[in-house]
Amino acid sequence: MLQPTDTANPLIEDESVSSKTIYDMYDLCDGKIGYIQTGKCGGKTVFAWAYLLKHPNALVDESQYFNEDSGERKFQSEFMPRKKLGQYGGEFNPVVKFCVVRDPVERFISAYTYLIEMHNVTGQKITLGELINSYDELMEKPEYRSVRVHTKSLVDQLGKNPYFYTHVFNMKQMGQVREMFEEISGKSLPDICINNTAGKLEKPAVTDDQRKWIVEKYQEDYDVYGKWIEGVKHRKSYKTNRERMMVEMEMLKPWHQKVQISHDLNTDVFDGLYEGRSMVNHRHTADFISRVYRADIVEKSMLDCGCNAGAHLYEAARYGIKKGLGFDARQHWINQAEWLKNNISIFNTDNIEFIVSNIYDIPNKNIGKFDVTMYSGLFYHVEEPFLSLKILSDVTNELLIVNTMYEKEHDQGYSKDCLYLKLEDVQSPLSGTHGVSWCPSGENVIKRMLQTLGFKSFYLIFKRPNPTGGNGRLGLAASKIEGMFDRLVEQDKRPKMKE
């Protein structure tokens, strides 16, 4: 699931967020589920399930707690309070952040039917055509406040970045919303649908011109959320596939890894990757794996831990690995990885899969074993480094590559092999998720831990200090096969050709 990020993180603080309403979300499940309600998008049903989690015996008759004057308002304010998200200075850091979207044409007609035809909230019955023809003028009147709220665009209420949410559902996926509640809460919920308009009043006929007006008014909703709206027909069309990809990549910002998508497009097309380009050269890592296995690489499987956007797996896919699995604790990076899988056109990605997981949950995932495990950029973020190595050892058949930061003090003469305590801000998308982590003094302390886990051969791929004065970086390969790197060691002894 998507983990919370801090206030300064451009993952949220960017121009794609147009609505301050997403700063506060409804807490629907004891801090685990955050929800943004949009008018005429199943909100009453969502609140019903949330209420039943706290009061499982309350559902006797819908009218008992969905009274228009008391029930709904009571449940929203008293039992499902709005809370400020952690990334905006609050203390609400839900595992799930979700919303429900609906075709804007259906939303607009449903709002008109419910508010004006059924309840006459404005005090004056007008036709759908009259509402459309005088919409801007009418919305200035105080008696039309409810109509204005219920017909506000999805973008105004949910923001322009759908990837801010861990889940975006449409109205035909309400069953999946219920299943999500059940999975997270561990409780069963009834299959109900609180519908205020269905079967109670015939919806007005809509002319082609009226439909066209609604589509044009909410065109941005179709452009941004059209991917999730069932049966959408009005999504923006793009002149080229590249134009489409550029728009979608913008929604998925920030990017941390550079991945080649096509011959003329990669993820480093904006003003720079988040926090600068990664110190890790993903292609060099794949080149090393190819040096180890040569032609046999096509028979090998690979696990990428803390995979971010999946760069290591995609570079290995260039060499034709048999299969790959990447996992990361943050939904944002998995969203990027999945998007790349669907859009990379220069090599096959069908055998690459991704899951959201913390490294400590891997033993419960039944992922099987892999010939190669890539442990890059994560060792110095985990709370229990030896346990993390043991977990990865249990799922590794042959080769484990640890690419990690090492403590800069070690370059200044402090030679004792150890781990340095490091405190982290868990809000940052590039930090760990536990707050406490450990930075190695160098390759020897990692090597000694791996030896106790049955690794027999080691090869230092690289070790370099940080030219800016920060901590250095190293890559260490460890194998359970004796002598696996002998050939590479012999190659390294050969005289280098002069350029």
Q: What is the pLDDT of residues 118-150, one digit of tens each?
A: 888 888 889 999 999 999 999 999 999 999 999
pLDDT classification of 13: cutoffs 50, 70, 90? very low
pLDDT of residue 371: 97
Percent of the chain with pLDDT over 70: 80
Alpha helices in 55-103 (DSSP H): 62-65, 71-74
Scored b (16 or more CB within 10 A) or e, 449-463 reads: bbeebebebbbebee
The helix (run of H) or strand (run of E) holding residue 33 is strand 33-36
* CATH number for position 207: 3.40.50
End-to-end CA distance of the chain: give it in Å, rounded: 49
pLDDT classification of 410: cutoffs 50, 70, 90? low
Residues 164, 312, single domain; the answer is no
pLDDT of residue 258: 87
pLDDT classification of 392: cutoffs 50, 70, 90? very high
Residues 186, 308, single domain; the answer is no
Residues 181, 76, single domain; the answer is yes
Residues 300, 440, single domain; the answer is yes
Highest mean pLDDT among 289-298, 341-350, 351-360, 393-402: 393-402
SS3 373: strand
pLDDT classification of 290: cutoffs 50, 70, 90? very high
> Per the domain annotation, does 24 fall within a domain?
yes
**279 vs 446, higher pLDDT:** 446
> Per the domain annotation, does 246 fall within a domain?
no
**Overall number of domains in the chain:** 2
Judged by average pLDDT, the poorest of 258-262, 337-341, 404-408 is 404-408
pLDDT of residue 22: 59
For residues 26 and 36, what is the distance between their CA atoms, to the nearest angstrom?
6
> Per the domain annotation, does 465 fall within a domain?
yes
Q: What is the CA radius of gyration of the chain?
A: 27
**328 vs 8, higher pLDDT:** 328
Average confidence (pLDDT) over 357-383: 92
* CATH number for position 379: 3.40.50.150
Residues 185, 46, single domain; the answer is yes
Q: Are 191 and 249 spatial neighbours (Cβ–Cβ below 8 Å)?
A: no
For residues 100 and 16, what is the distance between their CA atoms, to the nearest angstrom?
18
DSSP string, 143-208: GGHHHHHHTS-HHHHH-S-GGGSSEEEEGGGHHHHHHHHHHHH----------SSTTTSPPPP--H
For residues 410 and 407, what is the distance between their CA atoms, to the nearest angstrom?
6
Residues 445, 306, single domain; the answer is yes
Kindly tell me if the per-residue pLDDT of 76 is higher than 60.
no
For residues 376 and 104, what is the distance between their CA atoms, to the nearest angstrom?
44
pLDDT of residue 300: 96
Highest mean pLDDT among 42-56, 424-438, 447-461: 447-461
| Pairing mode, strands 457-464 and 472-479 | antiparallel
Kindly tell me if the per-residue pLDDT of 178 is higher than 70.
yes
Residues 27, 176, single domain; the answer is yes
pLDDT of residue 144: 93
> Per the domain annotation, does 26 fall within a domain?
yes
Kindly tell me if the per-residue pLDDT of 431 is higher than 90.
no
Kindly tell me if the per-residue pLDDT of 444 is higher than 80.
yes
Residues 207, 303, single domain; the answer is no
> Per the domain annotation, does 261 fall within a domain?
no
Residues 363, 426, single domain; the answer is yes
pLDDT of residue 479: 97
DSSP string, 417-428: --EEEEE--TTS
Identify the domain boundary among 233, 251, 271: 233
SS3 390: helix
- Cis-peptide into 254, omega within 30 deg: yes
pLDDT of residue 302: 97
Average confidence (pLDDT) over 375-402: 94
Scored b (16 or more CB within 10 A) or e, 383-411 reads: bebeebbebbbebbebbbbbbbbbbbebe
pLDDT of residue 89: 65
pLDDT classification of 81: cutoffs 50, 70, 90? confident
Residues 365, 475, single domain; the answer is yes
Q: Please give the residue range of the domain that contains residue 441.
A: 282-493
The helix (run of H) or strand (run of E) holding residue 375 is strand 370-376
Average confidence (pLDDT) over 327-342: 89
Judged by average pLDDT, the poorest of 102-111, 199-208, 209-218, 297-306 is 199-208
**60 vs 161, higher pLDDT:** 161
Kindly tell me if the per-residue pLDDT of 20 is higher than 80.
no
Residues 286, 161, single domain; the answer is no
> Per the domain annotation, does 72 fall within a domain?
yes
> Per the domain annotation, does 25 fall within a domain?
yes
This prediction has a pTM of 0.64
Identify the domain boundary among 217, 233, 249: 233
> Per the domain annotation, does 275 fall within a domain?
no
pLDDT of residue 445: 92
pLDDT of residue 223: 86
Residues 307, 373, single domain; the answer is yes
